[in-house]
Amino acid sequence: MKADNTISKISRIKEYTNKLIVEELINRGYNGLAPSHGDIIAALLKKGEMTKTEISNSICRDRSTVTVLVRKLNELGYLSTRTNEEDSRYSMVFLTEKGKELKEDFIEISEKLYSIQYIGMTEEQIKSFKDGLEMVYDNFKKNNL
């Protein structure tokens, strides 16, 4: 059996980034927000409003997870829902004014992450890393994992 700790390292990187994100959110007064909320907020900042299914597809999370995250963000006052005018079976999710105020802080936190992630790497190393990571991602996605 070949020993390889790549997946473990990826997991540790996620732990470090989540820790940084949580600390930054708390320092900026956003108690209650978690890194798992970020993808939804970012998608809504980009698109304006979406159904839960559209959000689910956009952020590659199952619909039940998105429903729980949307409910929490609604309780925190960052987003709201309304009936879809085109199809009343679906509700539209959108950011409240409080949610829209997150944009600048999200950009700054993202920039902090970006400034850390490739320290000491050449452009060639960065490209190779991204290409390899994309291949690993695709391999797991193809196997429905």
Residue 145 in this model has a pLDDT that exceeds 60: no
Cβ proximity of 79 and 93 under 8 Å: yes
**pLDDT computed for residue 41 by the predictor:** 95
**In this predicted model, what pLDDT tens digit does every residue of 22-48 receive, in sequence order?**
999 999 999 889 999 999 999 999 999
**pLDDT computed for residue 124 by the predictor:** 97
> 91-95 and 49-51: which strand pairing?
antiparallel
Q: How far is it, in rounded angstroms, from Cα 22 to Cα 77? A: 18
Enter the tokens of residue 124. Answer: 């060639």
**pLDDT computed for residue 56 by the predictor:** 95
Query: What DSSP state is assigned to residue 93?
Result: E
Q: How far is it, in rounded angstroms, from Cα 7 to Cα 87? A: 42
Enter the tokens of residue 26. Answer: 């708390």
pTM for the structure as a whole: 0.81
**pLDDT computed for residue 144 by the predictor:** 75
**pLDDT computed for residue 1 by the predictor:** 62
User: Band of the pLDDT at 3, cuts 50, 70, 90?
Assistant: confident
Mean local confidence (pLDDT), 8-19: 95
Which amino acid is residue 72, in one-letter code? Answer: K
For the domain with range 6-119, which CATH number is right: 1.10.3720.10, 3.30.1510.10, 1.10.10.10, 3.40.50.300?
Answer: 1.10.10.10
Share of the chain above pLDDT 90, in %: 81
Mean local confidence (pLDDT), 133-141: 92
**In this predicted model, what pLDDT tens digit does every residue of 61-120 receive, in sequence order?**
999 999 999 999 999 999 999 987 887 788 899 999 999 999 999 999 999 999 999 999
* Average pLDDT of the chain to the nearest whole number: 92
Cβ proximity of 33 and 21 under 8 Å: no
121-135 per-residue burial string, b: 16 or more CB within 10 A, e: under 16: eeeeeeeeeeeeeee
